[in-house]
Structure 1
Amino acid sequence: MGAKIRSIELIANTASGSVGAAAPDEARALLAEFGGKANVCVPEGGDLAGCLQAAIDRAPDLLVILAGDGTARAAAELCGMDGPMIAPLPGGTMNMLPKAVYGTTDWKAALRDTLEHGEERTIGGGVVDGRLFLVAAILGSGALLAPAREAVREGRPVIAFHRARRAWRRAFSGRLRYSLDGATRGKAEAMTFMCPIASRALNDDDQFLEAAALDPTGVAEALRIGLHSVMGDWRDDPAVEAVACRQARVWASSGIPAVLDGEPARLKASVQVSWKSAVTRVLAPPKQDHAEAGGDAPKETVKAAN
């Protein structure tokens, strides 16, 4: 085993996007190969939060999450820097954090590689309205496009268009106002903030966020941005301007809809967004192995906010 791991807690949410009913037994068999103390928890009655807290209370050396991005984000918040290391495996629909950490490999291959060659790695994250995000935060009307993006991902363009049109009609009144690093000010329909671990423009050890202002003029342009977010990157679209920043203020006339690491949220009408260099510890194979698994794309450049 790469790191010294004596006890492991694994949470398998069989109701999640890509975790089948056989996953808990498959996980137990795989963990048994590596010895040590291992416990697999399957939430009963949908009590995922209780299962997660109980696993952390048992103070394992490693907490393995086989569930969605929301559970991985919650585990990172609860573990912080002083709790167990986490291994966020791809068990959800979008798998944003697992893809950033392990590449595009399946959960069994990712877990085996991690247990054989894993190294402790400290990762940073963003904080908005007191809530953590490890990959990306979308604020404003863009958050309402999440169902349309999922339809695009599933190859259903007509449904995607109708969902995008419905989201556009539901968009909260008024545009976002934003200030980046106390200097750059602007207006936009939506803002995205990407952490270095997931950004195509930032290196993993950069100490700031990539902020992008999304300013579509109608439903067709909004859907085009949604397509770019699925097929490539927000910054591939001409209606998007991206910059690097360490902190931002975003405000609107009413509460702001948001998506944090794939999970919907509702924020106050005025929020602070900031970068925090150390939020949790993950166990993952060396970065060169991660790159071979398809996790690293060529890095581009992004200008500073001011």
Structure 2
Amino acid sequence: MLINPMSGGVGNRAGDEAKAILSEYDVDADVRILEGDGFADTIDEAISERPDALFVLAGDGTARSVATLAGQKDVLVATLPGGTMNMLPKALYGTGDWKKALRRTLEQGEPRKVAGGAIGEEYFYCAAIMGAPALWAPAREAIRSGKLGEAWSKARLAFRRAFSGRIRFSLDGKTEEKAEALVLITPLISKAFNESDPGLEAAAMKTADTGQALRLAANALFNDWRDDEAVDTRRTRKVKLWGRSRIPAVIDGETVPVGKEAEVRFVPHAFTALALSPQAVEDAG
């Protein structure tokens, strides 16, 4: 089990707390702390030893990176919630509490193949928001955390930029289109997933006037924006995007640099998670 105590959702006592929980179960556990200059080496060493399962308790970016590396080496991995948004852990374990997730995994965990998407070398397993409305993600998270002052400040910044320019995109090499944003949703959380035709759910945000923009902004903060009439959804395996300036992007809750052009591809089997079954996640949630 790899732990980054400096991550916002972890803390300095996490190592001892994890050891205490693991001692209650019939497992041979090795807990290692991620720190300083040896951060990357500790991860590489753990994966190279090919354990029966690799647990990681760290921020969203680190958990995503470890999942990607583990997938390349065919190592079973459990990404516990230790970040800010915890999109991937919540989808796999039905909770944002790492202790509950650890216990649930030890008691109910089973191997689950996880599909995803990739933007260059950056992989995502829940969703990627491409375009200026990606700036709404921090505002929405602040609302969920009850930080209304911070939410208002971030929402003002987001709205100033959210509808100031459009991105161009093409799905599976087809006709060029324009939109305020394109959201790519993986099978793990897609409501429109089809096993017979797997791929990413592409939701294009298109508004015709300020009124639609305001409504879409409200839905982005408080409701399921995919139900908005200004959102068009389709399935895709390959996406090309480009814009006049750098495209804002949030993948699995983390802001990442993209540039003025980007290509996204569907990855049918990105890694294998030790996680709850979909029904157990739904029951837990």
Pair in the same fold by TM > 0.5: yes
The one-letter code sitting in structure 1 at the alignment partner of 2:176 is: R
Instruction: Establish whether residue 14 from structure 1 lines up as the match of residue 5 from structure 2.
Output: yes
Given candidates 136, 148, 152, the residue that maps to 2:139 is: 148
Distance 1:155 1:29 in 2: 32
What are the residue-to-residue correspondences of 1:158-173 with 2, within 5 Å? Answer: 159-170=150-161
Q: Is the 8 A contact 1:119 1:284 kept in 2?
A: yes
The one-letter code sitting in structure 2 at the alignment partner of 1:228 is: N
Q: Is the 8 A contact 1:153 1:230 kept in 2?
A: no
Q: Is the 8 A contact 2:133 2:163 kept in 1?
A: no
Instruction: Establish whether residue 27 from structure 1 lines up as the match of residue 18 from structure 2.
Output: yes
Distance 2:50 2:70 in 1: 10
Question: Can you list the C-alpha shifts for 1:55-86, whole angstroms capped at 9, x where unaligned?
Answer: 22332221111122211210122112533211
TM-score by length of 1: 0.82
**Runs of 5+ unmatched residues, structure 2:** none
Distance 2:207 2:255 in 1: 21
Given candidates 244, 265, 269, the residue that maps to 1:278 is: 269
Distance 1:22 1:217 in 2: 52
The one-letter code sitting in structure 1 at the alignment partner of 2:244 is: S
Q: Which residue of 1 aligns with 2:247?
A: 256
Distance 1:227 1:154 in 2: 17
Q: Is the 8 A contact 2:172 2:238 kept in 1?
A: yes
CA RMSD of aligned residues (A): 2.7
Distance 1:90 1:254 in 2: 33
Residues 48 and 238 (structure 1), Cα distance of their counterparts in 2 relative to 1, 3 Å cut: farther
Instruction: Establish whether residue 109 from structure 1 lines up as the match of residue 61 from structure 2.
Output: no
Given candidates 19, 44, 50, the residue that maps to 1:53 is: 44
Instruction: Establish whether residue 176 from structure 1 lines up as the match of residue 167 from structure 2.
Output: yes
Distance 1:156 1:285 in 2: 31
Given candidates 104, 124, 138, the residue that maps to 2:129 is: 138
Residues 230 and 37 (structure 1), Cα distance of their counterparts in 2 relative to 1, 3 Å cut: farther
Distance 1:152 1:224 in 2: 17
Instruction: Establish whether residue 242 from structure 1 lines up as the match of residue 233 from structure 2.
Output: yes
Residues 32 and 222 (structure 1), Cα distance of their counterparts in 2 relative to 1, 3 Å cut: farther
TM-score by length of 2: 0.87
**Runs of 5+ unmatched residues, structure 1:** 1-9, 295-306
Helix, strand or coil: the match of 1:197?
coil
Q: Is the 8 A contact 2:130 2:249 kept in 1?
A: yes
**Aligned pair count?**
285
Report the Cα offset of residue 229 of structure 1.
4.0
Helix, strand or coil: the match of 2:173?
coil
Q: Is the 8 A contact 1:148 1:226 kept in 2?
A: no
Report the Cα offset of residue 156 of structure 1.
4.0
The one-letter code sitting in structure 2 at the alignment partner of 1:261 is: D
Residues 97 and 203 (structure 1), Cα distance of their counterparts in 2 relative to 1, 3 Å cut: farther
Given candidates 201, 205, 224, the residue that maps to 2:192 is: 201
The one-letter code sitting in structure 1 at the alignment partner of 2:116 is: G
Q: Is the 8 A contact 1:196 1:206 kept in 2?
A: no
Q: Is the 8 A contact 1:164 1:219 kept in 2?
A: no
Helix, strand or coil: the match of 2:90?
helix
Helix, strand or coil: the match of 1:64?
strand
Instruction: Establish whether residue 212 from structure 1 lines up as the match of residue 203 from structure 2.
Output: yes
The one-letter code sitting in structure 1 at the alignment partner of 2:111 is: E
Residues 242 and 120 (structure 1), Cα distance of their counterparts in 2 relative to 1, 3 Å cut: same
Q: Is the 8 A contact 1:176 1:252 kept in 2?
A: yes
Q: Is the 8 A contact 2:163 2:180 kept in 1?
A: no
Helix, strand or coil: the match of 1:83?
coil
Distance 2:236 2:109 in 1: 31
Report the Cα offset of residue 155 of structure 1.
3.0
Distance 2:193 2:89 in 1: 18
Q: Which residue of 1 aligns with 2:53?
A: 62
Report the Cα offset of residue 176 of structure 1.
0.4
